[in-house]
Amino acid sequence: MSDAPRPPAKPGGPPAVPPARFPPPSAPRTATRAQRSALVLGLAGALLFSLWLFQGILTPFVLAAVIAYFLDPLATRLARIGIRRGLGAFLLIFVLMTVGLLAVLLFYPLILAQLGILVQRLPTYIAGVGAVLRDGLIRLEEALGPEMVDQRLRELAITQAGSMLAWLGTAATRLIGGGFALFQVFTLLVVVPVVAFYLLRDWAAMLARIESWLPRRNASVLRQLARDTDRVLSAWLRGQLLCCAALGVFYAIALQLAGLELGLTVGLMAGVLTFIPYVGSLTGFAVAVLLAIGQFGSWNEVLVIVGIFVVGQTIEGYVIYPYLLGDRVELHAVWVIFALFAGGVAFGFLGVLLAVPMAAALGVVARYWLRRYLESPLYLDPPRTGT
């Protein structure tokens, strides 16, 4: 608006209106350290509160987000060769659900049949394990004397071994027989594919929108932390999925060829549980050895089962990780195990799904702050010497 003087008002007319004066534009305010800290703490608190409040319904959505995260590189490649993002997302979700449905139709009846064998043969397995354990304790008593191993200790060990095997059989039957009830058929077959499709279709747009919301002062640092987290997370998950698939197929085929009646179920279980470092292999090894003792009753066949798991661990440690993944896996096994168990205790299956991404993000942030500390005066400042 111009500041030129206006002509005086005519006599008898309305009074002249003075020109409007706007205050000069103020300089943009800078956020204080307290405001930035309050923003970070508020977002973290809101996220944890939302997880706690909606944990009962978030599982299918988090599972769909995991699927979209895995399929995003493939959808990007399809878009580069001329296939629209929406069509590519639909094709990928359709193929994934078709493969999953075929796997369920193929393996679920076989696993149920083996569980029927387990229920029928469980008393025989318990008797076989008890006989082998009794013979071993008798030999130990002969070697160490009755003062070290007496009859009561022997009977207690046999009873506890039988109870443990019976509990394992009952737990496996309930877990696999009621597995679909745990995941809820409706959410798996309807909600997860639909949500995964929309997330995969709009993945790049959502990331761009979130990036536009980052505070401008720290945007470059946050983008770098996000890229590091994505690199660590994708490498670890790719490695674990590779291990799960390879070891599951190897253990299932090898145990079946070795003559173990429940070899398919035990092998697939060991492969799936390999997602938890060391826990899957140790669990599969213990169950397979107990079943082999109960079924065969001799140590020759048991040693064959032991050899199969030794070969499996050799493949994992000397082939899959060194040659297929190299040094890209930056998540320590102990940190992953702690995160999985902590997430499971805090939020159940939802916490297990979120545990590895949170562990990867916290690891990247911890390494970033460690680098900052090692470059700061808190670490570099030399000690003062007296004069």
Q: Which residues contact 280 (CB under 8 A, 6 or more apart)?
A: 244, 247, 269, 270, 271, 272, 273, 274
| Residues 131, 18: Cα–Cα separation, whole Å | 108
For tokens 């993945």, name the residue. Answer: 203
**Quick check: helix, strand or coil at residue 338?**
helix
Q: Where are the beta strands (DSSP E) in the chain?
A: none
- Whether the CB-CB separation of 95 and 75 falls below 8 Å is answered with no
Q: Which residues contact 201 (CB under 8 A, 6 or more apart)?
A: 75, 85, 86, 89
pTM > 0.75: yes or no: no
- Whether the CB-CB separation of 324 and 242 falls below 8 Å is answered with yes
- Residue-level pLDDT, tens digit, the chain, 387 residues: 445 555 555 555 555 555 555 555 555 566 677 887 888 888 888 888 888 888 878 888 888 898 899 899 999 999 999 999 999 999 999 999 898 888 878 877 777 777 777 777 777 777 777 777 777 766 766 666 655 555 555 565 666 666 666 666 665 555 555 444 445 555 667 788 999 999 999 998 999 898 888 888 888 888 999 998 888 888 787 777 878 888 899 999 999 999 888 888 889 888 888 887 777 788 889 888 888 888 887 778 889 999 999 998 888 878 776 766 555 556 777 888 888 888 888 887 778 878 888 888 888 888 889 888 888 887 887 666 554
- What per-residue confidence (pLDDT) applies to 180? 45
HSE, CB side, 13 Å, CA atoms: give it for residue 44.
8
- What per-residue confidence (pLDDT) applies to 165? 61
Q: Assign residue 28 a region: left if phi > 0, alpha if psi is -120 to 50, beta otherwise? A: beta
Type and span of the H or E element at 357? helix 349-374
Q: What are phi and psi of 261, to 5 degrees?
A: -60, -35
- Whether the CB-CB separation of 338 and 278 falls below 8 Å is answered with no
- What per-residue confidence (pLDDT) applies to 184? 56
- Residue 259, CA distances (Å) to 74, 185, 252, 269, 301 in order: 40, 34, 11, 17, 9
Q: What are 320-349's pLDDT values in tens digits?
A: 767 665 555 567 778 888 888 888 888 877
- Whether the CB-CB separation of 259 and 301 falls below 8 Å is answered with yes
Q: Which amino acid is at 104?
A: V
Type and span of the H or E element at 198? helix 192-201
> Around Cβ 352, how many Cβ atoms within 10 Å?
21
- Whether the CB-CB separation of 305 and 256 falls below 8 Å is answered with no
> Around Cβ 71, how many Cβ atoms within 10 Å?
22
**Quick check: helix, strand or coil at residue 96?**
helix
